[in-house]
Amino acid sequence: MSAELTRARKQLTQVRSLLRQGKVMPAAQSYHTALLAVLKNPLMKAEKEEFERLLDDAAHHLNNDAELRRVFPLTIAYKPGAEREVLDVVASLVKALEEAAVSEAQEQLRQFEASKEAEMRRGQQMLDDRQFEDAQKHFRGLVARFEDDAELKGEIGDRFLKAGRYEEAFEYLAQALDESPESVHLYNRIGIALRKLGKFDVAEKYYFKAAKYTGHDPHLFFNLGRLYVDWGKWDRVAKAAGMALKLKPDFVEAEKMLNFALKKIQ
């Protein structure tokens, strides 16, 4: 017996075991692959009889699986000599299972996102009600549930930033940036939080990092200028405002910033 037929025999004998484990897709795929091998390879009489028995037994187990019947109501009517017709049915079965798996995954993702959005709304309500300790506890629990979601951490950081809670904002934004360093907008958010905390030198470093990625954003340089205003570094304010205007000549606020800085320098 060839190696391919030996594998086919093993695949057919494991169909029942796979179904008992709830692995409907692998069971159907095993039957399909094994049947293809049987059709491709010449069989001795004894081998032919053995595979007819194995195919019939495996088809019986597939037909009697409740989960499979829910997805695919057609039965696999195996009989010797009808292998090619059965192959078409099994191919349809595998396709139906694949489509069901995709549909189930999409539904799980929808529920996952809906749950996350509901929890975000709860946390936002706490922020709106100025229940900051409760909000922090709530959001930390949410991050623990979705620990690999850098976007979620960034969004939580944004919410704390808008609520004027800069320590908490920096905590979540820094976590998000560690996990997603290519998210350039986070550098800007962190810079704002650190500026509000009076940590000007640290904020400046984050803005410089952001400039390496997106040195064409006038608002980045404007925010850097605001940092220097709070810091009292008027020559740097003028330079940052000038960069913003170079990138966006009609940037009115940047022009006001530049004129203000020049008056301070004089």
pLDDT averaged per 10 residues, the chain (length 266): 88 92 91 92 90 93 89 88 91 91 86 91 96 96 91 94 94 92 86 92 91 86 94 95 95 95 90
**DSSP classification of residue 63:** H
Handedness of CA 245, 247, 251, 254 (dihedral sign): negative
Q: Which residue has the tokens 């039957």?
A: 31
Q: Are 25 and 101 in contact (CB under 8 A)?
A: yes
Query: Looking at residue 69, what is its pLDDT?
Result: 86
Whole-number Å distance between alpha carbons of 220 and 260? 19
Whole-number Å distance between alpha carbons of 116 and 142? 8
Q: What is the pLDDT of residues 34-71, one digit of tens each?
A: 999 999 988 889 989 999 999 999 999 999 998 888 88
State both tokens at 92.
């349809």
Query: Looking at residue 211, what is its pLDDT?
Result: 87
Counting residues of the chain whose pLDDT is more than 70, the rounded percentage is 100
Quote helix, strand, coil % in the chain, to nearest 5.
80, 0, 20
Q: What is the pTM of this model?
A: 0.62
Query: Looking at residue 56, what is its pLDDT?
Result: 92
